[in-house]
């Protein structure tokens, strides 16, 4: 017979930490996790990742052990890895503790990019919501995937998995400026909602969330529980219009420009004449053809109901 204060197995939490996320910031969060879990009387384990893909292995392993609160601690890529094996499972709760550099995904959940004690208190209140996910060529994304300019920036800023990024924000800004100056759009064919479109791709973002690269609201109308993906497709631009349009993106005002096609869809196919870089929640990949779809209600996630979250209220 269990003791009255003993936590049942399915109430245990595991925190999966990528220790090099945020240039090592995630590692400094480990003692805070222990302190806050103890404060809230949460039985938990903390496990550190050791190589790319390890977070998914740990997540799957702890789910099979009976843990039902599986939390990612790191950047968007780490959170993606932790969540991916849990898609479609209704008897598990997923959460995110932001400890990366951009931390765009956490905006969906209504939390800031760094937790204070106040955010930990809200986090352990365990308010949950069903959240959609996107899928591209079999890869899940929680926030979004991108083609064109932003994917080229990601490829320029690419760091071999397992290594710490150097240069920080200054290096990233340099890659943005360089790509703005020299990027050349490629032809693209999109098929969605029964419509086939031929265009040039400066940016093509398909998203569940709204924010990318720490402050660019490419899909400002997106909700993470509406069963639809928001698509922002920007066609070929000259240098002047590139700078002019991108200055509007932080406020989401670019979608009113005639060079921007903004729409929602549940399915989208894209094809290029050759392989191109694309990012999935910030992680770099390459492909020529893209099959993209929404997975409604894929995850049961912890969120902040009083924060600026991106969930649509249900009637």
Q: Read off the CATH number of the domain in which 92 is found.
A: 3.40.50.10330
Between CA 225 and CA 231, with CA 229 as vertex, the angle to 5 degrees is 145
Same domain, 160 and 258: yes
Q: Are both 144 and 267 inside the same structural domain? A: yes
Q: Over the stretch 2-50, which tens digit does the pLDDT of each residue have?
A: 333 333 335 899 999 999 999 899 999 999 999 999 999 999 999 999 9
Q: What is the pLDDT of residues 68-85, one digit of tens each?
A: 999 999 999 999 999 999
Q: Give the residue, 147 or 315, on which the prediction is more confident.
A: 147
Q: Do 121 and 237 belong to one domain?
A: no
Please check whether residues 86 and 128 belong to one and the same domain. Answer: yes
Are both 145 and 275 inside the same structural domain? yes
Residue 157: predicted pLDDT: 64
Mean pLDDT of the chain: 89
Inside any domain, residue 314:
no
Q: Into how many domains does the chain fold? A: 2
Q: Is pLDDT of 119 > 60?
A: yes
Banded model confidence at residue 257, pLDDT cuts 50, 70, 90: very high
* Mean pLDDT for the stretch of residues 189-198: 90
> Is residue 312 one of the residues assigned to a domain?
no
pLDDT bracket for residue 217 (50, 70, 90): very high
Query: What gap in Å lies between CA 221 and CA 209, rounded to an integer?
Result: 9
* Distances 191 to 67, 151, 183, 299 between C-alpha atoms, Å: 41, 20, 24, 27
Examine the domain organization and report whether 166 and 40 are in the same domain: no
Q: Which run of H or E residues covers position 191?
A: strand 186-192
Whether 199 maps to a domain, the answer reads yes
Instruction: Looking at the structure, tell me whether residues 86 and 190 fall in a common domain.
Output: no
**Residue ranges making up the domain that contains 123:** 9-132+297-302
- As a whole-number percent, the residues of the chain with pLDDT over 90 amount to 72
Q: Are both 232 and 292 inside the same structural domain? A: yes
Confidence at residue 246, expressed as pLDDT on a 0 to 100 scale: 87
Q: Is the same domain home to 94 and 236?
A: no
User: Model-level pTM?
Assistant: 0.88
pLDDT of residue 101: 85
Assigned domain for 179 exists: yes
Phi–psi pair at 103, nearest 5 degrees: 50, 50
For residues 149 and 221, membership in a common domain is answered with: yes
pLDDT (tens digit, 9 = 90+) per residue, 148-165?
988 888 777 655 554 545
Q: Mark whether 102 and 248 lie in a shared domain.
A: no
181 & 248 share domain:
yes
Residue 315 has pLDDT above 80, yes or no: no
């Amino acid at each position: 017979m269990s003791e009255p204060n003993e936590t049942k197995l399915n109430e245990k939490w595991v925190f999966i930490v990528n220790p090099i996320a945020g240039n090592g910031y995630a590692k400094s969060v480990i003692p805070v996790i222990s302190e806050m879990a103890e404060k809230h009387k949460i039985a938990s384990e903390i496990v550190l990742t050791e190589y790319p893909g390890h977070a998914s292995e740990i997540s799957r392993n702890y789910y099979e052990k009976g843990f039902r609160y599986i939390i990612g601690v790191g950047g968007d890529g780490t959170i993606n890895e932790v969540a991916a094996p849990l898609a479609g499972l209704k008897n598990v709760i997923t959460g995110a503790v932001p400890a990366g550099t951009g931390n765009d995904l956490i905006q969906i959940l209504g939390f800031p990019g760094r937790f204070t004690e106040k955010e930990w208190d809200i986090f352990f209140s365990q308010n949950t919501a069903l959240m959609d996910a996107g899928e591209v060529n079999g890869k899940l994304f929680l926030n979004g995937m991108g083609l064109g300019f932003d994917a080229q920036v990601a490829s320029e800023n690419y760091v071999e998995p397992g290594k710490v990024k150097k240069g920080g924000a200054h290096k990233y800004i340099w890659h943005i400026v360089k790509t703005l100056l020299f990027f050349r759009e490629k032809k693209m064919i999109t098929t969605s909602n029964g419509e086939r479109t031929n265009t040039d791709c400066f940016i093509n973002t398909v998203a569940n969330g709204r924010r990318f690269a720490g402050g660019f609201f490419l899909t400002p109308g997106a909700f993470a529980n509406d069963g639809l993906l928001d698509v922002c497709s920007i066609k070929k631009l000259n240098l002047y219009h590139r700078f002019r349009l991108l200055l509007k993106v932080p406020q989401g005002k670019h979608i009113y420009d005639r060079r921007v096609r903004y729409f929602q869809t549940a399915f989208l196919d894209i094809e290029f004449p050759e392989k191109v870089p694309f990012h999935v929640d910030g992680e770099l990949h390459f492909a020529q053809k893209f099959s993209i779809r929404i997975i409604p209600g894929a995850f049961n996630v912890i969120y902040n109901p009083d924060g600026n979250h991106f969930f649509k209220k249900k009637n």
